[in-house]
Structure 1
Amino acid sequence: MKCISGYIILLISYVYFANALPFFFHGRPRGGMLGSPKVSKLSSLKIDPKDEQWYTQKLDHFNPADSRTWQQRYFVNDKYFKTNGPIFLMIGGEGSADPIWMVEGQWIKYAEEHQALCVMLEHRFYGKSHPTEDLSVSNLQYLSSEQALADLATFHQYIVEKHMLSNKNRWISIGGSYPGSLSAWFRLKYPHLVYGALAASAPMWGLVDFQDYLVVVRDSLSSYSEKCNGAINEAINVIQDMVKSQTGRDTLKKVFRLCDAIETQDDVDNFFEAVAGNFEGVVQYNNDNRAFEGALGTNITIKVVCDTMLDSTLPDPFSRIVKVNDILMAVYNQSCLDAGYQSMISQLSKTSWNDSASEGGRQWTYQTCVEFGFFQSSNSTMQPFGNNFPASFFVKQCADIFGATFSADLLTNGIAFTNSYYGGEMFQGSRVLFINGAIDPWHALSFTSSPPNNNSFIFMSTTAHCADMYPDSDSDPQELTDARKKISSTIGEWLQ
């Protein structure tokens, strides 16, 4: 999920992943849902990827008879740390832990204000933290939010001993998107270890059919212009007619520069999801002040795509939706749009750490298929993207990628366990601050008012996914500036 979950891919990986899965896949941008912040020219801090450190971690925390271990990656910044200061724990998510977070982002400002030690732990099975020799289904059984929380618990004790900390050093967990969920859940399940938790853009309960995702996308586009949704819907209707004939499919392959021909109904459905994904990704990360492969794509916003959809110099909505696709393909240097269903299944079925799916696509798909669902379906009629990718389409992918046992029943049971284990909408953790923005579709699965158990919340009307976590910008809305002040003051209250 990467604010957990971002759109970023390191330039060194650019060529390697250029023809892999789309940049925005099932609500997760390549690299994870939490993107990397821009590097400030004024930053006085320096960090080198070589500063990565390694912790010997248990493979299975819930089987005492299993003594297997592996090396988990983490980073430390003690620049501002003072005796008896707090420990800020940045939780890694469904992507590589980027060391730039150790010198940039709001948590570094909070660390300076509160004299904190900053540590960041990479999530098992993502980035360089490889617990097993490959990503086979038998090994992915060790990939779960429960195991990740237990990783945090043992890592906590390791850091306490290594840095000779005491009970006076209160821990604050920090996370955005899926790691935001983990932050709240860490406070819930290990309240003796973490004193307070920041949970930005954190989905707090699982469900199979996350149809409200596209409803929020519609609402967010409407915040700029309702005509934008109308133009999208007109274009989708044209495409819907075109896929009914071979001539139309051939034209779509050409103008959208598809890697593969549209042949099966699965190809049709996957293509429609990819077209919708062009808008989903822009909305999810609208104006969020983070890097898009360096400086690329930072100006691709709701305004840009809606202005394109309403551009009268282009003959019709169909040509305009093609132009949106062209813009995004140019930004991410894609030679063709990989929207073929079998191509997707084939890529996500590969189990080697050297395959492109190991960037996180296979792992996150697995977690959604067994723990969370979160499937951004087209089931709602209150959105402009048609109805070609229902929740059942995503459930089918689980079985096609991981095997027939990964059925609708398995998923339903897994989600039921997740919601029972963490509380879902009846979350009972305490001293958690939930931060969300109305533009972000993921806010529909979080607490935006009156959280249970007297927890706190911030809900902004103009911001998108994890916006509060990134560095300041001159263009930040006042409510975002005010939110960051409230976050820091809340931390201060916790530390009194």
Structure 2
Amino acid sequence: MWWLLLLSSVAGLRTLEPPAPPPVSRNQVVEGWLPVRLNHFDASNTETFQMRYFYNPDLKNATSGTHIVIFVGGEWAISAGWVQAGLPYDLASEIGAGLFYTEHRYYGLTRPSTDTSVEDLRYLNVDQAIGDLVQFIQHVKSDDFEDGYYRNATVSLVGCSYAGSMATWARLGYPHLVTAAFSDSGPLRAQEDFPEYLEVITEALRTQGGQACVDAVGEAVDMMLELITTTAGVQRVSELFNTCSLLQSSSPLDVATFFWFGITETFAYLVQYATPGNIPAACSIITGSQGDPVERLSTWITSQPWTQPCIETRYQEVLAGHTNTSYDAPDAVMRLWTYQTCVEYGWYQTTTSSDQPFRDTVPLEYFHQMCRDFFGEMFTPTFLRAGISRTNLLWGSQLPDRVVSVAGGADPWSPVGPNASDAHQHAPVYVVDGVSHCRAVSSLGNSETEELEKTKQAVVDHMVYWTTGRSLPSGAGGLTASVLLLAIALLVQ
């Protein structure tokens, strides 16, 4: 299985590049840089910065027209592997397209400013990032790129997670430039409080590990909450969970930091990046016979790579790390993504739902406090809600045509992603049971389940049909059937 979790120091946000599959092509990959506008919406601002991209020219074939496939980068540093393998590579091979991978402004080496001070972060938003993508498309289709080879090319966008959202929204905002788009696990709606995230995690534990696993986690959390009311109990919890310092139970921010970074985020990594067997293996420890529920939970928690070398419980240490404005700071990526959540999205994975075993340990106010402390007093809940409303007004509308979306049935992000009610005849949505986040962008022939493999083939069929007008022999019938059945389902509702 190629889906090996790349560990990151960014606890809590899961802002990881999808790990690239083993390369199919070992041809020379071109690393390029394009000067793009700092502000796409102010003609008087002529400042630019260098945007990084990778390019594989070896798949292009103009026999049946020219095509461009772009794997859209998200909140991570890009790597060359995604222009050498993966579903974008398969699609580019099928239609003879030039294959590109673009880097999102502020992430990786695409740095519009000298640091990440709040003043400089004002250009970090999805509007500007899509503007970069649009300028990149215009450049590749101009005479300045390979003497105009791609001047009349179709453009296909592929993205997973937030980058999948960008692919969808670029088709929505710029249909004259973007021919078709594929979004894998891309959120569609911004939402301040996102308790459904942990509800999906709970259901995955229940389905794959049994109700006893969910009950054992809840019992352990109840016991911990009782333990930290005494000095001896605090000492025991701190030792069992290998915290970086003694938990200060008198500080609600420190307690929330412990449960978020140490407990709920560990389960988030388990489920969001789960490979077959991981969840049952975890639950076998959590429900085992060795020790009490707290001891069993701590045994599993402290065995995970992302809780090493220790679990941070000090909110002030978190604050210090995330107010460091250097691009090279250990927590730079979390600072950048947290900024975007504070101004555009929310998506705060709280414990406010009753349908999860983590009790009320990570409230919404914890994230409100982060926004203010990381970026300043103006970043209030009112400011956040205005940004969420704006995002949904501009981008979170009905799916545009020529967009195919895939959601994993066990993906914690699926509640804010597209579903059957968003689908229409020209924008199918596939929900794949039992798989989690960003599984459909892996290569054809490398899938966890037969259903996922069929879905990936259907995605390629849709994209080929929209860009070339032809159906693949393996998918022509499936394409017609899926669209027809979806249309009938919508008509009878």
In the other structure, the counterpart of 1:439 is 410
Structure 2: tracts of 5 or more residues without a match: 470-493
Q: Alignment length, in residue pairs?
A: 455
What residue in structure 2 maps to residue 367 of structure 1?
A: 340
Bigger shift: 447-456 or 182-191?
A: 447-456
In the alignment, which residue of structure 2 is the partner of 1:457? 429
| Structure 2 counterpart SS, 1:53 | strand
Partner of 2:473: none
Partners of 1:211 and 1:354 lie apart in 2 by: 32
Contact 1:278-1:324 within 8 A present in 2 as well: no
Larger relative contact order (CA 8 Å, sep ≥ 6)? 1
**DSSP 3-state at the match of 1:491:** helix
Q: Is residue 74–residue 163 contact of structure 2 (8 Å, CA) maintained in 1?
A: yes
Q: In 2, distance between residues paired with 1:430 and 1:138?
A: 37
Tell me which residue corresponds to 1:293: none
Match of 1:355 in 2: 329
Are residues 1:302 and 2:279 paired? yes
CA distance in 2, matches of 1:134, 1:47: 32
Instruction: State the shift of 1:21 in Å.
Output: 4.6
Aligned equivalents of 2:419 and 2:173: distance in 1? 22
Question: How has the CA–CA distance of structure 1 residues 484 and 474 changed in structure 2, closer, same or farther, with 3 Å as cutoff?
Answer: closer
Distance 1:333 1:404, change over 3 A: closer
Task: Please name the residue that 1:401 is paired with.
Answer: 374
CA distance in 2, matches of 1:356, 1:89: 29
- Residue identity matched to 2:407: N
SS in 2 for 1:233: helix
How far apart are the structure 2 equivalents of 1:199 and 1:333?
31
Cα deviation for residue 354 of structure 1 reads 2.3
Q: Does 1:323 align with 2:307?
A: no
The residue matched to 2:361 in structure 1 has which SS? coil
Q: What's the offset of the Cα at 1:306?
A: 1.3
Who is 1:205 aligned against? 189
Contact 2:194 2:348 in 1 (8 A): yes
The offset of 1:107, in angstroms, is 1.5
TM-superposed CA distance for 1:242, in Å, is 1.4
- Aligned mate of 1:270, from 234, 237, 257: 257
Q: Identify which of 79, 98, 104 aligns with 1:123.
A: 104
Cα drift, residue 316 of structure 1: 2.2
| Alpha-carbon displacement from aligned partner over 1:231-266 (angstroms, at most 9, x marks no partner) | 111111111111212221222222211113222211
Whole-Å separation in 2 of the counterparts to 1:332 and 1:428: 36
**SS of corresponding position for 1:397:** helix
Of 19, 26, 33, which aligns to 1:54?
33
Structure 2 CA distance for partners of 1:217 and 1:198, relative to 1, 3 Å: same
Q: Which residue of 2 aligns with 1:486?
A: 458
Shift of 1:339: 3.1
Q: How does 1:388-427 map to 2 (within 5 A)?
A: 388-422=361-395, 424=396, 426-427=397-398
Match of residue 340, structure 1, among 305, 314, 318: 314
CA-to-aligned-CA distance 1:39-68 (integer Å, 9 cap, x gap): 25xx342456xx421111111111111111
Which of residues 20, 26, 33 in structure 2 aligns to 1:45? Answer: 26
Corresponding residue of 1:8? 6
Alpha carbon RMSD of aligned pairs, Å? 1.8
Match of 2:169 among 169, 185, 191: 185
CA contact (8 A) 1:37 1:471 kept: no
- Structure 1 letter corresponding to 2:431: F
Alpha-carbon distance in structure 2 between the residues aligned to 1:481 and 1:21: 31
**How far is the alpha carbon of 1:448 from its aligned partner?**
2.2
Residue 285 of structure 1 corresponds to 273
SS across alignment from 1:175: strand
One-letter amino acid matched to 2:260: E
1:405 maps to amino acid: M
Q: 1:36 — aligned with what? A: 19
Give the TM-score taking structure 2 as reference length: 0.89
Residue identity matched to 1:200 = D
Q: Give the direction of change, closer, same or farther, for the CA distance of 1:475–1:421 in structure 2 (3 Å limit).
A: closer
TM superposition shift of 1:376: 0.3
Structure 2 CA distance for partners of 1:46 and 1:252, relative to 1, 3 Å: farther
CA distance in structure 1 between the partners assigned to 2:96 and 2:314 by the alignment: 51
**Does the aligned pair in 2 maintain the 1:439–1:463 contact within 8 Å?**
yes
Does residue 1:143 correspond to 2:124, yes or no? Answer: yes
Max radius of gyration: which structure? 2
Q: Determine the C-alpha separation between the residues in 1 that align with 2:431 and 2:194.
A: 20
Q: Give deviations 1:299-350, integer Å, cap 9, x for gaps.
A: 7x212211221222x122211111111221xx35822122321111111111
Of 183-192 and 93-102, deviating more is 93-102
User: Of residues 430, 435, 443 in structure 2, which corresponds to 1:471?
Assistant: 443
The answer to whether the 8 A contact 2:71-2:159 is kept is yes
After TM superposition, the structure 1 stretch with the greater mean CA deviation from structure 2, 101-110 or 203-212, is: 101-110
Superimposed CA distance per residue, residues 460-491 of structure 1 (whole angstroms, 9 cap, x where no aligned partner): 11110010112356662110110111011111
The equivalent residue for 1:227 is: 212
Residue 72 of structure 1 is matched in structure 2 by 51
Does the C-alpha gap of structure 1 residues 44 and 102 become closer, same or farther in structure 2, counting only changes over 3 Å?
closer
1:87 matched to 2:68? The reply is yes
CA distance in 2, matches of 1:177, 1:77: 23
1:456, distance to aligned residue in structure 2 (A)? 0.8
Q: Distance in 2 between matches of 1:38 and 1:155?
A: 25
Residue 7 of structure 1: CA displacement?
A: 4.6
Secondary structure, counterpart of 2:141 in structure 1: helix
Structure 2 counterpart SS, 1:198: strand
| Amino acid aligned to 1:281 | Y
Q: After TM superposition, which residue ranges in structure 1, 4 or more long, deviate above 6 angstroms?
A: none
Give the structure 1 partner of residue 86 of structure 2: 105
Contact 2:56 2:83 in 1 (8 A): yes
Contact 1:173–1:194 under 8 Å retained in 2: yes
Residue 104 of structure 1: how far off its partner (Å) = 2.0
Structure 2: distance between partners of 1:400 and 1:208: 18
Q: Is the 8 A contact 1:370 1:411 kept in 2?
A: yes
SS at match of 1:90: strand
Q: CA deviation at 1:452?
A: 4.8
In structure 1, the gaps of 5 or more residues are 1-5, 10-16, 289-298
Q: CA deviation at 1:169?
A: 1.6
- What is the CA distance between 1:428 and its match in structure 2? 4.7
1:14 is aligned to none
- Residue type matched to 1:230 in 2? D
